[in-house]
Amino acid sequence: MENPDLGPTLRALRDLAPSDITDSLVRLVRRVGAYDITLYLIDFEQSTLVPIPDRTAHVDSPIGVSTQGTLEGTAFVERRLASETHGAATRVCVPIVEGSDYTGVLAFRVAGDLDAEVHERSEDLGMVAGAAIAVAARYTDLFNLVRRRKAMSLQASIQWDLLPPLRLKTPTATSSGVLEPAYDVGGDFFDHAVNGPTLDVAIMDAMGHGLHSSIVSSLAAGSYRHDRREGQPLSVIHRQLDRVIADNFHGEDFVTGQLARLDLASGHLSWINAGHPRPLHVRNGKVVSTLPCSPSLPWGLGSPLAQEAAVGLRPGDSVVFYSDGVVEGRLRAGGESFGTDRLISIIEDAAASSIPTDAILRLAIKAVLDYQDHRLRDDATILWLTWAPNADD
């Protein structure tokens, strides 16, 4: 088996047109003796792996492979190489990794059984594919369009452009987020970023629906990121958020949400609540409490900070932040809401199976969608933060 020289390959990818990236990656994979090669990206609903290149038009498409019950789905959900041998050939699927975010699957066949050398090279190729696609995606819409299995509203497009990678991992912590409805989300937003010794997370929900709420959310996100990058404490970020929303919308619009800052060395978590549901504290796969914090009024209503709360996390502890669209959804007007108890039950059942946290989030959002017959009346967002020094998740 030929060992591909990744250095020259990466340098060559730098000079390619975006439309040539996939062909170049396919040629690279062939050098390990592979054939029948397909690259998949996960769609915006995180349910279907879509082959690339696929199309360059906004049209509804059934094309794709489910993340459930398929070899490709196993590789993506479980974040590992998955393979099946049939006769004289082995089908291999490896995750495409962009930084710490898993964004697709590289699938191919090799003759005979999968040996250790091909196994190692295959995982390397998944990371090379992720790096190449991540760089190219900064100056082309091709990969974004592949991920769209149907037309996306303007407000959803704005919100997705605001979002960070859905998964962030450091040696001591992980943060994963999910947001629905993927193709028509309006005012929900989340963020996470590592800066030196701290991990900052935020979750926000702008009042209302549609394009206007996405504009309000965009301003709130910009204010939050500006002050976070300036190294401001949470109390100042809160005050500036309140001021900028009030000054620009004159008390007619507001944003609910939470801001949190985790000390990566000690597990000390500080957080502020601006009219949002209290987050869940998870330990050993069980929800042990909701984190207390006297709520301030939503940002934009001129409220002083009521409290900046703090909690010391133990290694392995998680905090689950979520928007009210997760628990308040109903199948019909006047019906029973989805409720916090259902969310807790899903979290605990999934955690008991030791699946990755981003997979737990997909299960939780699927349950919310199923409960409302896939007709959400409000955006639903979940952000899962875990402090786990030296953990692999």
Asked whether 199 and 173 are in contact (CB, 8 A), the reply is yes
Residue ranges in 42-153 assigned as alpha helix (H) = 71-78, 116-136, 142-147
Asked whether 217 and 163 are in contact (CB, 8 A), the reply is no
Strands 308-312 and 167-169 turn out to be: unpaired
Would you state the torsion angle of the CA atoms of residues 350, 354, 360, 364, taken in this order, to the nearest 10 degrees? 0
Give the pTM: 0.88
Would you state the torsion angle of the CA atoms of residues 123, 124, 125, 126, taken in this order, to the nearest 10 degrees? 50
Tell me the per-residue pLDDT of 326-354, one tens digit each, with 9 for 90 and over.
Answer: 888 777 666 788 889 999 998 898 877 77
Tell me the per-residue pLDDT of 120-159, one tens digit each, with 9 for 90 and over.
Answer: 888 888 998 898 888 888 888 888 888 888 888 899 899 9
Cβ neighbours of 303 (radius 10 Å):
18
- Structural domains of the chain, ranges and CATH numbers in brackets: 6-147 (3.30.450.40), 154-387 (3.60.40.10)
Strand order, beta sheet including 65-66: 65-66, 48-52, 35-42, 101-111, 89-98, 82-86
pLDDT for 312 equals 97
pLDDT for 13 equals 64
Candidates 57, 53, 52, 104; CA nearest to 77 is 104
pLDDT for 392 equals 53
Q: Is 258 helix (H, G, I), strand (E, B) or coil?
A: strand
Alpha carbons 212 and 206: distance in angstroms, whole number: 9
Candidates 235, 381, 392, 366; CA nearest to 320 is 381
Strands (E), 181-275: 188-195, 198-206, 255-263, 268-274
Give the chain's residues under pLDDT 70: 1-16, 53-62, 332-334, 390-393
Write down how long the chain is. Answer: 393
Alpha carbons 301 and 257: distance in angstroms, whole number: 13
Asked whether 39 and 129 are in contact (CB, 8 A), the reply is yes
Question: What is the longest distance spanned by two Cα atoms in the chain?
Answer: 70
CA angle 153, 157, 158 (to 5 degrees): 120
Q: Is 217 helix (H, G, I), strand (E, B) or coil?
A: helix
pLDDT for 24 equals 81
Q: Is 39 helix (H, G, I), strand (E, B) or coil?
A: strand
